[in-house]
């Protein structure tokens, strides 16, 4: 079949649309696009096992997706459906990663992309991605919540596809991460830790776990531990936060669009949504880089910070845990430079000086 030849030419092994076709709302007319998203690594984290007493702690490295965040899983479905529905352009509000992903998949499909970002509040790497892929950036004088409201108004009035996670195709695509975890481990974990901003992802994971459970591919479902930043924790407080503040820009959201989905995930899983301070987030961020070799962006470290805040007393004995690492550390290089003390020694181009610096470094 011609479409098969086309598929193999697009990506060897296929992406989310091909691997999880049976679980996605695809039709004959949905183009099988991919940038090689999904199939991300699941790696053990022994330092976190020691810290929590858990039998196993696994990191789902969603930072390995093509644009460096999990957003690609949902974006590939949303953009494929936009193409199917003959949209000529996509639009989103974004704290950065959604715009990077929308811009990349739109470029791949020859669509125009418009991204609304809160001015001055988006990490440099993410802005660079949107620019590289030729998206038009509307820098909004307001926060993410303002930008999302504007995006919804615009797509109500104009013939543009809204590709925020209020688009149900985004959630459908993102649920495949939970399915991959079950496919890899042979069953669902006991506990799943995940950062929460607009709350689309926790909603999506819970949907994925539930669908596999009902299909009897998984024998159980995990408790979901959602983690917000203390200055942007509406789900913890039970009401929206007017002026959310946190260094973890990807979760700097005061009025999550998927509020009900997050609460359902929490309650149905007998889990919790908690908050951690920026300091705890940065401690986890540094620990992941230093002890596990995983360089993520600050928001991603919230899942680990939350797990440590709640279970640093060893209370996860006997359990298997998965933490989602949502986005790449290179997205926010300024934060990295600011928050770690680089170990730099200045020397002349001189053998003896180099040896001295190395010997001192080995002590």
User: Using the rule CB under 6 A, which residue among 15, 38, 118, 195 binds ligand PLP?
Assistant: 195
200 binds ligand PLP (CB under 6 A): yes
129 binds ligand PLP (CB under 6 A): no
User: Using the rule CB under 6 A, which residue among 10, 116, 135, 196 binds ligand PLP?
Assistant: 196
103 binds ligand PLP (CB under 6 A): no
Site mask, ligand PLP, residues 141-180, x = CB under 6 A? ------------------------x---------------
Nearest approach in angstroms of CB 32 to ligand PLP is 25
Nearest approach in angstroms of CB 202 to ligand PLP is 6
Which CB atom, from 20 or from 206, has the smaller least distance to ligand PLP?
A: 206
User: Using the rule CB under 6 A, which residue among 16, 229, 250, 308 binds ligand PLP?
Assistant: 250
d(CA 306, CA 48): 12
3-state per-residue secondary structure call for the chain? CHHHHHHHHHCCCCCHHHHCHHHCCCCCCCCCCCCCCCCCCEEECHHHHHHHCECEEEEEEHHHCCCCECHHHHHHHHHHHHHHCCCCEEEEECCCHHHHHHHHHHHHHCCEEEEEEECCCCCHHHHHHHHHCCCEEEEECCCHHHHHHHHHHHHHHCCCEECCCCCHHHHHHHCHHHHHHHHHHCCCCCEEEEECCCCHHHHHHHHHHHHHHHCCCCCCCCEEEEEEECCECHHHHCCCCCCCCCCCHHHCCCCCCCHHHHHHHHHHCCCEEEEECHHHHHHHHHHHHHHHCCCECHHHHHHHHHHHHHHCCCCCECCEEEEEECEEHHHCHHHHHHHCCCCCCCCCCCHHHHHHHHHHHHC
User: Using the rule CB under 6 A, which residue among 34, 201, 275, 319 binds ligand PLP?
Assistant: 201
Which CB atom, from 14 or from 195, has the smaller least distance to ligand PLP?
A: 195
Nearest approach in angstroms of CB 248 to ligand PLP is 8
Which CB atom, from 10 or from 309, has the smaller least distance to ligand PLP?
A: 309
Nearest approach in angstroms of CB 171 to ligand PLP is 9
Site mask, ligand PLP, residues 7-46, x = CB under 6 A? ----------------------------------------
Beta bridge pairs of residue 90 = 113, 161
Nearest approach in angstroms of CB 253 to ligand PLP is 7
Nearest approach in angstroms of CB 57 to ligand PLP is 19
The stretch among 150-158, 199-207, 342-350, 351-359 that binds ligand PLP (CB under 6 A) is 199-207
Residue numbers at the binding site for ligand PLP (CB under 6 A):
69, 71, 97, 165, 195-201, 250-251, 297, 299-300, 326-327
């Amino acid at each position: 079949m011609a479409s098969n030849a086309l598929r193999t030419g697009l990506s060897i092994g296929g992406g989310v649309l091909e691997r999880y076709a049976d679980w996605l709302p695809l039709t004959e007319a949905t183009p099988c696009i991919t940038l090689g998203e999904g199939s991300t690594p699941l790696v053990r984290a022994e330092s976190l096992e020691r810290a929590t007493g858990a039998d196993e702690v696994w990191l789902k490295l969603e930072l390995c997706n093509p644009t460096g965040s999990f957003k690609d899983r949902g974006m590939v479905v949303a953009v494929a459906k936009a193409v199917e529905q003959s949209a000529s352009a996509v639009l989103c509000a974004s704290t950065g990663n959604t715009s990077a992903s929308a811009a990349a998949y739109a470029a791949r499909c020859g669509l125009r992309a418009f991204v609304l970002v809160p001015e001055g509040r988006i990490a440099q790497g993410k802005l660079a991605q949107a620019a590289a892929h030729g998206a038009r950036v509307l820098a909004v004088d307001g926060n993410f919540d303002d930008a999302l409201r504007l995006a919804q108004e615009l797509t109500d009035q104009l013939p543009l596809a809204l590709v925020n996670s209020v688009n149900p195709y985004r959630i459908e695509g993102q649920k495949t991460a939970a399915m991959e975890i079950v496919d890899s481990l042979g069953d669902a974990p006991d506990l799943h830790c995940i950062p929460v901003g607009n709350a689309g992802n926790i909603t999506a994971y819970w949907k994925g776990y539930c669908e596999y459970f009902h299909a009897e591919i998984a024998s159980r479902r995990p408790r979901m531990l959602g983690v917000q930043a203390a200055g942007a924790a509406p789900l913890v407080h039970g009401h929206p936060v007017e002026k959310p503040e946190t260094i973890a820009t990807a979760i700097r959201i005061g009025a999550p669009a998927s509020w009900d989905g997050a609460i359902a995930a929490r309650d149905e899983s007998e889990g919790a949504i908690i908050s951690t301070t920026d300091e705890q987030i940065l401690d986890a961020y540094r620990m992941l880089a230093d002890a596990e070799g995983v360089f993520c962006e600050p928001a991603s470290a919230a899942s680990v910070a939350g797990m440590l805040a709640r279970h640093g007393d060893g209370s996860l004995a006997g359990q298997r845990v998965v933490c989602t690492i949502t986005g790449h550390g290179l997205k926010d290089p300024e934060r990295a430079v600011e928050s770690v003390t680089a170990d730099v020694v200045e020397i002349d181009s001189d053998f003896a000086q180099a040896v001295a610096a190395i010997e001192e470094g080995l002590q």
